[in-house]
Amino acid sequence: MSRNAAMIWALARRALNEITRVPGAAVPGVLAPTIFMVGLSGVFGQAARLPGFDAADFRTFIVPVGLLQGAAFTGAATGVNLARDIERGWFDRLMVCPAPRTTILLGVVASAAVRSLLPATLLTCVAFALGVDFPGVPALLLTIVLIMALATAIAFYAVIIALRFRTQQAAPLMQMGGFIAVLFTAAYAPKALLAGWLSAVATVNPVSPILTGVRQGFVGDVTWHDTWPALLASACLLVVLGSWAVHRLGRVGD
Amino acid sequence: MIRTSLALARRTLLDAARRPQFLAPLVIFPSLFLAINTGGLHRSTDLPGFPHVGGFLDFQLAAAMTQSLLLGGVAQGIGTALEIESGFFDRLVASPIPRVSIVLGRILAGAVIALGQVLYFVAIGLIFGASIAGGLPGLLIVLAIGVLAGTGFCALGVMIALRARNASTVQGIFPLVFVVLFVSSAFFPRALLSHPADWIASYNPLSYIADGLRDPIISSVSLQPVLEGLAAAAGVTAAFVALAVAALHGRLREA
Amino acid sequence: MSTAPAIETIGLEREFGGGLKAVKGIDLAVAPGEVYGFLGPNGAGKTTTVRMLVTLLRPTGGRATIAGFDVATQPADVRRRIGVALQEAALDLLMTGRELMELQATLHGIPRRAVAERAADLIGRVGLANAAERRVGTYSGGMRRRLDLAMALIHAPEVLFLDEPTTGLDPTSRTTLWEEVRRLRDEGTTVFMTTQYLEEADQLADRVGIISDGLLVAEGTPAALKAEIGAPHLDITLGGEAPDAEAARRALEPYGACRPAPDGAHVSLQVADGAAAMAGVVRALDDAGLLVEGIELVRPTLDDVFLAKTGEHLEGAAEEAAPA
């Protein structure tokens, strides 16, 4: 068990090198959610005046969206990095080592959870500086858990795409998956204000309860009623996408 | 010069047609934004001060077009940078063609692709219930402003590529596209933007381009927004084409 | 010591989508401690065969075992016993040599307390101790190949796979790598090596297998394969205004079978010990009043073997023959 943990840690540390050793490599991914949050609230801020909008202001309402977007970008980046490793032959090196496939997969995606905290930290600091209220420690802790879980789930998805197409050119497909997952929810407005088709999509989108969970504290209080669906949805995404990724990894070489 | 520019433009277009996976993001991402903005904020038309429109989709089409055209400019910039990295650019420079046609060819190709992009969003809008209030003249104005603006954005992309010399630098511009759009009236009426976005939007040529694209869609053709849109698109195009040519000469002098 | 083959394939096949069969049924066996050279041109199926043996590709027909374990049904057991250095030295350029070695050691389950020591030992063995703390991105091609080899050896594998290990290397780096392969053989490691370079196979391999169009067309020691093609012969170029190849043939009858060329200016003499016979041959021709413009001892090469078996030359032969 400890050997597997050492393998996961070694692979995760390697994945973090991109941030620590390539100047500026992480900047776009870290900045983008904050840019979106500031930009969107500057553009659509008046929408919060619509009857039925629960939040104090539009910016507070979409901060959670930005946090999840950061998680999605980070998860997609994991898949892009794996695709690059496949193109350069590094992935073959992993596949011929005797480490269990599950261990390799966990090592590849583990860094996504940690990296997702970078854009989240910047966004939260900027949001507070712009007047968004502190959501409270319980809400913040829950947010951290949900962000890390979503980043890992999207990383599993991106890994599946990378293993299927084996090229960095599939990057837009990886990014779009996370993009759609996060934004086809009650991202911009409460569900009651959404157009019919988007409301229907948001109802079945597993990221919707996660967004609701993250929104707690920023909008309204933290309640078990909104927390357990978020945790359950996160767990389901991790299990389903993780199993699919393990299965896909096992089929490498077929 | 015209003949070689057209030949190089044709080459760029053939290349794009053979690799549609590089064209797709130019319309797919803006389409997703269009869907999300429309689906999420369609009630915004109820806000006091919102212009009279058939639907929020009618209003948002111009934003999607502007966004797509900007991404088209980034794509042509990346294409130019890749040609520089691969050495094909040097091959063209060493050939007996007028060198300015290297830049003009790609910009011309961008103009043709821009036409396709605008037509795509017109079609999407019509399919999902929007209408062009200005009728056929309105449609022609939308196409004119769109192609002109798209040409200018391509010239911008080419200029950046000639200065940056590598594709990843040009790709890093991608987030800036959204920054510039957010401080314009592309997505929302200028009067309803927060401060200081509303102030910046008054000076942002994208606002006038988007408003020029929008006016024939949401109302019968009005002179002021259309003329401003054409002027902004023409100004952007003239400026960036000149800068792109200057960048080309600068690069050739360094070589 | 086990006498079972270190590597054994029976009817090994690999078919890709669209019915393309890259490997069409290969039977080979490599004894423990043997260096086996796997020769063939690009597209012959060398790399596909290697990828099946190292469990990167699943065979679609036949079977293969490495150290007694089946590559299809027991891949994890195979991976514990093999080291692999593939055609592209796939290294992380952001990491230092030491970091890469330690990562490799960890991935191969070497206990944590032994990782640093083992990594340092291997890095020193391939002559990279002074560069261990530098990022791999600063390494030359030869250094990267050596690091790649060191990584393949981190867990002391029973069987080492080298896919074109010296392609693109300068002569000095190539020689260094050859010495390392010889040392590994002396230590009892089985080495399965693909190469396009005939000299490499000649120098290093105990036995050679030649693959063409997905099939093994020849197998044996380099000497035996070359002997199959023919004995060494002397190529003699006659000089003068009217060279008489027929007269040369008569003069050289005592030495062996002599064949005049149609142009009348060349003869080819099959002779058991060409080097020793050369002086006598020249004297015999001189006594017959014939002028010798040139004389060369020609030995069959593995490319001659390949040409005889497949009708084509190996690319490596063309490269080695090309003027510098």
Is A176 in contact with B29 (Cβ distance < 8 A)?
A: yes
Is B40 in contact with A188 (Cβ distance < 8 A)?
A: yes
Say whether pLDDT at C194 is over 60: yes
**In this predicted model, which residue has the larger pLDDT, C316 or A1?**
A1
Q: What is the pLDDT of residues C210-255, one digit of tens each?
A: 998 999 999 999 989 888 877 778 889 998 888 888 888 888 888 8
The residue-averaged pLDDT of B92-97 equals 82
**B56 belongs to a structural domain:** no
Say whether pLDDT at C322 is over 50: no
The answer to whether residue A98 neighbours chain C at the CB level (below 8 Å) is: yes
Say whether pLDDT at C320 is over 90: no
Q: What is the pLDDT of residues A102-159, one digit of tens each?
A: 999 999 999 999 999 999 999 999 999 999 999 999 999 999 999 999 999 999 999 9
- Residue reference for tokens 């792109």: B244
Give domain C231-298's CATH number out of 3.30.70.100, 3.30.429.10, 3.20.20.60, 2.10.109.10: 3.30.70.100
C-alpha span between C35 and C33 (Å, rounded): 7
Percent of chain C residues past pLDDT 70, beyond the cut:
96
Domain map (residue ranges) of chain A: 2-250
pLDDT, averaged across chain B = 90
- Residue reference for tokens 């309803």: B192
Sign of CA dihedral A111, A112, A118, A124: negative
**B196 belongs to a structural domain:** yes
Distance from CA of C193 to the nearest CA of A (A): 17
Chain C residues within an 8 Å CB radius of A111: none
Read off φ and ψ for residue B184, nearest 5 degrees. -140, 175
The answer to whether residue B21 neighbours chain A at the CB level (below 8 Å) is: yes
Of B197, B68, B130, nearest to A44 by C-alpha is B197
Say whether pLDDT at B170 is over 60: yes
Say whether pLDDT at A27 is over 50: yes
**In this predicted model, which residue has the larger pLDDT, B253 or A86?**
A86
Give domain C7-221's CATH number out of 3.50.50.60, 3.40.50.2300, 3.40.30.10, 3.40.50.300: 3.40.50.300
The residue-averaged pLDDT of B71-78 equals 90
The answer to whether residue A253 neighbours chain C at the CB level (below 8 Å) is: yes
Q: Give residue A17's pLDDT.
A: 84
Question: What one-character-per-residue DSSP string does B125-151 give?
Answer: HHHTT---TTHHHHHHHHHHHHHHHHH
Distance from CA of C149 to the nearest CA of A (A): 12
Nearest CA in chain C to A99: C107
Helices (H), chain C: 46-53, 75-81, 97-107, 112-125, 141-152, 171-186, 198-204, 222-229, 245-252, 274-287, 302-310, 315-321
- Supply B52's token pair: 């009279």
- The residue range of the domain holding B229 is 2-39+61-254
The answer to whether residue C72 neighbours chain A at the CB level (below 8 Å) is: no
The residue-averaged pLDDT of A225-230 equals 97
Say whether pLDDT at C318 is over 50: no
Evaluate whether chains A and C are touching (3 or more beta carbon pairs less than 8 Å apart).
yes
Q: Give residue C2's pLDDT.
A: 52
Distance from CA of B83 to the nearest CA of A (A): 17
Is A172 in contact with B24 (Cβ distance < 8 A)?
A: yes
The answer to whether residue A46 neighbours chain B at the CB level (below 8 Å) is: yes
**B45 belongs to a structural domain:** no
Evaluate whether chains B and A are touching (3 or more beta carbon pairs less than 8 Å apart).
yes
pLDDT, averaged across chain C = 88
- The pTM for the full model equals 0.86
C-alpha span between B126 and A24 (Å, rounded): 43
Question: What one-character-per-residue DSSP string does chain A give?
Answer: -HHHHHHHHHHHHHHHHHHHHSTTSSHHHHHHHHHHHHHHHHHHGGGGGSTT--SSSHHHHHHHHHHHHHHHHHHHHHHHHHHHHHHHTHHHHHHTS-S-HHHHHHHHHHHHHHHTHHHHHHHHHHHHHTTPPP--HHHHHHHHHHHHHHHHHHHHHHHHHHHHH-SGGGHHHHHHHHHHHHHSSSSSS-GGGS-HHHHHHHHH-THHHHHHHHHTTTSS---HHHHHHHHHHHHHHHHHHHHHHHHHHHTTT-
Say whether pLDDT at C315 is over 70: no
Is B178 in contact with A39 (Cβ distance < 8 A)?
A: yes
Is A98 in contact with C90 (Cβ distance < 8 A)?
A: no
pLDDT, averaged across chain A = 93
Distance from CA of A155 to the nearest CA of C (A): 21
- Which residues on adjacent β-strands are paired with residue C162? C85, C193
Chain B residues within an 8 Å CB radius of A205: none
In this complex, which of A28, A176, A198 lies closest to B40 when CB atoms are compared? A198
Domain map (residue ranges) of chain C: 7-221, 231-298
**B185 belongs to a structural domain:** yes
Distance from CA of C319 to the nearest CA of A (A): 26
The answer to whether residue B175 neighbours chain A at the CB level (below 8 Å) is: yes
- Residue reference for tokens 């948001």: A202
In this complex, which of B40, B44, B193 lies closest to A194 when CB atoms are compared? B40
User: Could you tell me if B178 and A28 are in contact, meaning their C-beta atoms sit under 8 angstroms apart?
Assistant: no
Q: Give residue A1's pLDDT.
A: 65
Distance from CA of A190 to the nearest CA of C (A): 45
Q: Binning pLDDT at 50, 70 and 90, where does residue B20 land?
A: confident
Q: Give residue C323's pLDDT.
A: 39
Nearest CA in chain A to C104: A97
Say whether pLDDT at C116 is over 90: yes
Count the domains in chain B.
1
Q: 10 Å Cβ neighbour count for A17?
A: 16
